[in-house]
Structure 1
Amino acid sequence: MGKVMVDELTHEVIGAAIEVHKNLGPGLLESTYHGCLAFELQERGLCIQTEVPVPVIYKGFRLNFGFRIDLLVEDSLIVELKSVSSLLPVHLAQVITYLKLSHLKRGLLINFNETRLKNGIKRVAY
């Protein structure tokens, strides 16, 4: 998928996340936002996968350590969701690791526990 298309996809996912946040507000469990965002993205006609396993290839062996991408949108954009008091560097590192292991280039880190959702959105490129 080209850069322009991924940018459009990123814009669409952010719009869907804002819609979810507008309806629910902050303070709920991550799983609630996960389910509602998945629903919103599907309603917008996007192909999504949830809880996508991410294996580690080590010395030619495929090892599964339980890494899971929250949402994979159109097989090209990783969306990692949080509902925490503030995003930490480890959250960003998690998205970068998922991008590296999945050989994808773009991701979004979204923290729904913000009064204004735009303060909890980080675009990530690898």
Structure 2
Amino acid sequence: MQTHFYFEDLSYVLNGLFYQIYKQLGYGLREASYCQLLESLLKQKTINYVKESKIPLQLYGREITYRKIDFLIEDCIIIEIKASSLISQKHFYQVKEYLKLSGIKLGLLVHFNQKNVNIYRIINPNLNKP
């Protein structure tokens, strides 16, 4: 069985940007600082993005509230940045919620930590549901 790899080329470029940030600055910055650095690199690469994009949470077609994601890249990839010593299941659930609400296929959970930058690919759990 062949696994579909969503947005392979764009993901590859984004992964390079995350590693570039980590190689230059390492661990110990605030999440907002990593977001600012990523935004600067996205501009340099002329990659379309929306920072702090709002995803509406609706009930019966009426917006009740919203969720704010770190980045929406090229209208097809959600990026959520974390800068902490540990990553937990709640961070994965957070990205899955964003994917469900937005209908976007792919999310990247990017964890800048003491040893490395870890990038987790999360597929929208609703994709295979009728």
TM-score w.r.t. the length of structure 2 is 0.87
Count of residues paired in the alignment? 121
What corresponds to 2:121 in structure 1? 123
Gaps of 5+ in 2: 125-130
The TM-score, its normalising length taken from structure 1, stands at 0.90
By how many angstroms is 1:5 displaced? 6.8
Query: Which residue matches 2:93?
Result: 93
Distance 2:59 2:114 in 1: 38
Work out whether residues 83 and 113 of structure 1, in 8 Å CA contact, stay in contact via their aligned partners in 2. Answer: yes
| Contact 2:6–2:105, Cα closer than 8 Å, also in 1 | no
Distance 2:33 2:50 in 1: 16
State the percentage of identical aligned residues. 32
- How large is the RMSD of aligned CA atoms in angstroms? 1.4
For residues 6 and 40 of structure 2, the distance between their equivalents in structure 1, rounded to whole angstroms, comes to 21
Distance 1:112 1:49 in 2: 21
- Residue identity matched to 2:120: K
Secondary structure of the 1:63 match is strand
Contact 1:81 1:109 in 2 (8 A): yes
Match of 2:28 in 1: 27
Between the aligned partners of 1:55 and 1:113, the Cα distance in structure 2 is 30
Distance 1:36 1:16 in 2: 9
Kindly provide the CA deviation profile for residues 93-122 of structure 1, in whole angstroms up to 9, marking residues without a partner as x.
0000001101101010001123221xx211
Compare the two structures and name the one with the higher helix fraction: 1
- CA deviations over 1:18-64 (Å, ceiling 9, x no partner): 10111110011000000001111221110111000111111221122
The aligned residue for residue 68 of structure 2 is 68
CA distance 1:113–1:4, shift in 2 (3 Å) = closer
Q: Distance in 1 between matches of 2:85 and 2:121?
A: 19
Larger Cα Rg: Structure 1 or Structure 2? 2
- Code of the residue aligned with 1:58 in structure 2: it is L
Q: Indicate conservation of the 8 Å contact 1:28/1:113, yes or no.
A: no
